[in-house]
Amino acid sequence: MKRLLPLLTLMALLATVGANAQEKKPDWRKLHYLSEEEMNTPVKGINFTETDPPTGELRFVAEFEPMQAVMIVYPLGIPVSLVAEMSKDCKVITIVESYQQSQAQNTFQNAGVNMSNCLFLNAPTNSYWVRDFGPWYIFNDLNPAIVDNVYNRPRPHDDEIPGYFSTYWNIPMYGMKLIHTGGNMMQDGRGHGVSDDLVLRENAEELGFDETVVRNKMRDYLGIDPYHITIDPQGDYIAHVDCWGKYLAPDKILIARLPESNPQYSKYEEVANYFATTNCCWGYPYKVYRVEEPGGNTLAPYTNSLILNKTVYVPLGSNNTYNQQAIAIYQEAMPGYEIVGVNSGNPGWHNTDALHCRTRGVMDFEMLFVDHRNVIHGEQEWQDSIAVTSKFIAYSKQALKQDSLLVYYSIDGGAYQTTRMTATANPNEYVGYIKGYQGNSEINYYVFGADQSGHRYTQPVFADLDPHHFTMKAHTPSGELVITPDTLWFTQMGQEKELVIKNETMTSVSINDIQLESQYFLQLSGEIPSFPVMLPSGTNLKLKVWFQNAPGKGDYVSSEILIATSLGQKKAIAMLKKSAMDFGLQIVGAPVLQFDEPGEQQTAIQNRNFGTGTPIEITSITVENPAILVVEPEHPLPYTLAGSAYFRLTMSPNVDGKAYVHTQVTIHSDAGDLTYEVSINEDLLSINETEVDTRIYPNPTSGIFKVKGRNMATLSVYNLVGQKVCEKHGDTDLIIDASNWDKGVYLVDLYYTDGHRQTRKLVVQ
């Protein structure tokens, strides 16, 4: 794949060199631009063998994602003290010629480098700018790979380094015939990339490629689309994006700012305004952070930093005031990260060449990627629950931890709650629902995942320190349109479940349509109404739903039932537990228990080692939320369960509230863990026996209704605007005439002699 490179067009560069001819001749190795020897190297043509592009799903990993190592070159272009710092965090791979390796090792040992984290790759180099010539790491589906490009410097040893690393890691390398350099490329890990227009000029001048060809190659080999190609605001010889800008997160970008008196000021502002008015991958404009630079000859290389896992190494300049301001900007933009200022040392920083140029991270080949693309932001139309959908990509190829795929959310500044995510019908995709907010609520959230290899990740990476944020639109409830249950659990194909839509508002509601997320797998059955259906106050619509097939792999098949109404969209979830193999410890019947009325339920597990009869030891049982569910095993634990035998559990809910709550019961054994999902309808349950015994009938009513119960002290009835329409005191049987009341929903407050209180709904027709 490697080749001889041409001399680049250097007229502008030669003019710059000529204008400074009287200055001291620079050390060519320490500058990015070409040496006199390189400038006089005859053009030999580009002998680059382009391969076919990779054919899988491509992802060009961002610098702020998990890194297993960092690459550097010896002799060093960075202080050895920085090598020592980086070796605390991850592996340090030093590219060094074999005859210099002992010298490098001695240098590192004397400086306190963690030698157990040091690796060496023996290869010759022409310079230490590994950012520019080093390999570009990608994922092709779940597999790591390298993309090689035409390096825009005639430095043959540097140009061979990607091939060395392809052999070092034993991963494929794809040849992309495009003149490029690492310092002029930054990417967000979600398909967005940024370069300045040097990439267009060089490829037009040397290869005859127009902009369309450039963009197509970036898409086909790296998965970069959109590709943001900006002006070069710096206007210096190097034209590299890392000299003036940096991705800090998929929605955050750092742009340098110069004094207004600087001739380049307007160019920097033009670029900053471009990103401030351009949407990031999550659908809203970039959050642009500005780092002040004094301009002129004052050293201030602040955007040329290195993000290495949870640490940011920032090269410091020659003005301490600007240094402190730069550190503060990084701390503001990247909460939870350690921001480390790095003095230049030997050989020193330049405004156009500092720490980032001389290092390059190596992505963690087994990382877990949380890919929540449809980020919820801004003001949302009212809905009683909102779906958070995310893919979880385990590059380790290990299974995901199904109980560790979570949405963390906070409502109006309250404590963070969690909701478990469940599989959809799409590969690697899971969904969880945020509930419990009110109109005008401010909601913060982030997504968390973990896999069996021990990898874990959040989106955003800052988690609760800087989460995703949205506002729910104002909502004035006038009763409710209640969907019961909110989750339908199926245990086998062809099983039929009932979904009830109750109109508990004071007016008629139109049910305009019902859409099933996957028409092929989830079906309506029985009498299917012709929509729209007008649902009067106090009435309900009953529907039959069934699964006819379940594709793919995984523990569950999930499908949404979307109900379009005159009050906005409502939804319910249909979940199908796939059948298990007939061995080991298995749940008998439904893996989901749903409590819709008071009382206990008994369920069982079975040792299905029918053939071998191998016993299984049940070691313990854990309840995710023991405050709302009590579980009593039929035998003390640990307990040895013989082959074919059953082990029963008695479960009792203990809640007092409204709507559904969910918890899990996990049975631990030497054959693995089994988990019950438990759904409790709080609206139908109570912890007080007297409340359970109280009846209001008929309900709905058109006139006379009765309240029958024990130990009632006071009964008060309110309409939905809070006006009291009736009050009765102390009796076991009450008869109330509502014939003169307005039609609609009323709230019946019941106070008992033991101090308990209960609120029931009453519909007057």
Q: Which residues participate in catalysis according to the annotation?
A: 357
Rounded CA gap, 435 and 441, in Å? 11
CB-CB contact of 194 with 275 (8 Å): no
SS (H, E, C) 112-146: CCCHHHEEEEECCCCCCCHHHHCCEEEEECCEEEE
Q: Reduced to 3 DSSP states, what percent helix, strand and coil does the chain have, rounded to the nearest 5?
A: 15, 40, 45
Helix residue spans in 93-241 (DSSP H): 101-110, 130-133, 156-159, 161-169, 198-207, 211-222
DSSP line for 411-461: ETT---EEEE-EE-SSTTEEEEEEE---TT-EEEEEEEEEBTTS-EEEEST
Rounded CA gap, 705 and 690, in Å? 19
Query: What are the structure tokens assigned to 281, written together?
Result: 């991958």
Query: What are the structure tokens assigned to 6, written together?
Result: 């041409």
Question: What contacts 273, CB < 8 A, 6 or more positions away?
Answer: none
CB-CB contact of 363 with 133 (8 Å): no
Q: Which residues pair with 669 in a beta bridge?
A: 618, 672
CB-CB contact of 762 with 706 (8 Å): no
Question: Would you call 735 exposed, middle or buried from its count of C-beta atoms within 10 A (0-12, 13-18, 19+)?
Answer: exposed
Handedness of CA 228, 232, 237, 238 (dihedral sign): negative
| Closest to 343 measured CA to CA, from 333, 354, 332 | 354
Rounded CA gap, 407 and 386, in Å? 12
19, 244, 299 from 303: Cα distances, Å: 28, 6, 12
Q: Which residues pair with 616 in a beta bridge?
A: 641
Question: Would you call 20 exposed, middle or buried from its count of C-beta atoms within 10 A (0-12, 13-18, 19+)?
Answer: exposed
Rounded CA gap, 382 and 472, in Å? 6
Query: What are the structure tokens assigned to 164, written together?
Result: 């060395």
